[in-house]
Amino acid sequence: MPIEKVLDYLEHESFQSLPTNVVAMAKKSLLDFIAASFAGYQNKKVSASALKSSKWLGGEATCTVLGRSTSVSPLAATFINATLSSCMDIDDGHRQAVGHPACTIIPPVLAMGEVTPNCSGKDLITAIVSGYEIGIRCGIVMNSNHNTLFYGSGGWAHFGSAAGVSKIKKMTRNLTAHAISIGEVYGPTAQCGKSIAAGSMTKESVGWGAVTGLMGVLLAETGFTGTRNILMDDHLYNKNAKRVFENLGEIYEIERIYFKEYPACKWAHSPIAAARLIKEEINPNLQEIDEIIVETFSKAITLDHISPQTSEAAQYSIPFTVATAFCYGNVEPYHVSEEHLNNEAVYDVAKKIRLKQVDDLEEIFPEKRPARLKVKMGNGKVFEREVHIVKGDAENPLNWDELVKKFEMCAKDYITSDRQLEIIDQIKNLENLPDLNSFISILRS
């Protein structure tokens, strides 16, 4: 990261300088983050554990946990909201960064916005955009060699967390430099490959990455220092940091994010979409299927849990989510909740699914996350569909109304329809809010 370029950008970026479509994307990202956070309550074990963290992430109880009436410390709110928004894997992402920005960047920005006097809707929008622009570019650099060195979202998005919080707090140039750079040493390695294999709650170290970004800001304010030589380890990466950051403030990476229809790893979305197409167009008799072959790229082959025992393992399972799509025509948050895991109908289809790496699809990853689905029937017929781009990708984006429907689906069990409408309306008109108090109050239970 060329730190002087970053500091120039953060010093001069303002709401007035943001293009209209960038403001619209920030609002979409905020609504989608809130949707993902409410979906997180479907994962009862993770949400319960995260909520208990408020006991040991102590401090003055000044910040909101989405969907709860009690207040917690800024660090606790950051950890809990980050964990909630990521634990069902239905949060936004960026293809070239190979991960998820919102779940790490928005929670600390929202927490600091709540405790910062006179923080306006415009301030929040600007901080979200600033955090995305820094964090995503760090992910693009750090995951440019992802076949050898693969960082989960918490390992790169914490830079965006620190940048966004610094923007909210209107920190000086020098303090901002230290706030961002502290995280390079303190940040998690986020070895998500291990989480995928184990089906564990650690996932991509999103919760701790978000806390790391906020802690960097708080430490910098006390005089704690970091290094200014960030991401200049060219021997580790296939992309030069200076070139990745040279268009900062001119081209906005937030415009290239994707929104997810399904609570599953993005690598599973093309197989799910292909299964839905076959289900809708042909509706094969599931009992008469001999075998389902999913051809895809090598990283997706790791998502091979046939009978997942945790919600996380289900989210990281192509067999389970594809089988769910065949059985129910869709994959929604409750389909990957603990209560749904022992579904015999889903298991009967999942055990017929085989994953296969193929070179022609490997060549277009990570620019696309492709899959080719072949359903072989007992009578010899074969039904095949190939998907490279799914609904929600930057090339085929979800519009505002579609994101509203996703939000309603995720929030329906936790807040009233009237409260949902309030949240939607306030985000739609976020730039007109003189402070965030009224908005944050309606995010409570």
- 99 pLDDT band, cuts 50/70/90, is very high
pLDDT tens digit string along 24-78? Answer: 999 999 999 999 999 999 999 999 999 999 999 988 999 999 999 999 999 999 9
* Contact predicate 167/130, CB 8 Å: yes
pLDDT computed for residue 240 by the predictor: 85
pLDDT tens digit string along 358-413? Answer: 999 999 987 889 999 999 999 999 999 999 999 999 999 999 999 999 999 999 99
d(CA 50, CA 44): 10
Plot region of 102 (φ>0 → left; ψ -120 to 50 → alpha; else → beta) = alpha
CA distances from 395 to 25, 101, 367 (A): 14, 18, 11
**φ, ψ of residue 305 in degrees (nearest 5):** -65, 115
Task: Please name the amino acid found at residue 209.
Answer: G
Residue 229 CB neighbour total at 10 angstroms: 11
pLDDT computed for residue 404 by the predictor: 98
What average pLDDT does this structure show over 265-270? 95
What average pLDDT does this structure show over 218-246? 87
pLDDT computed for residue 379 by the predictor: 96
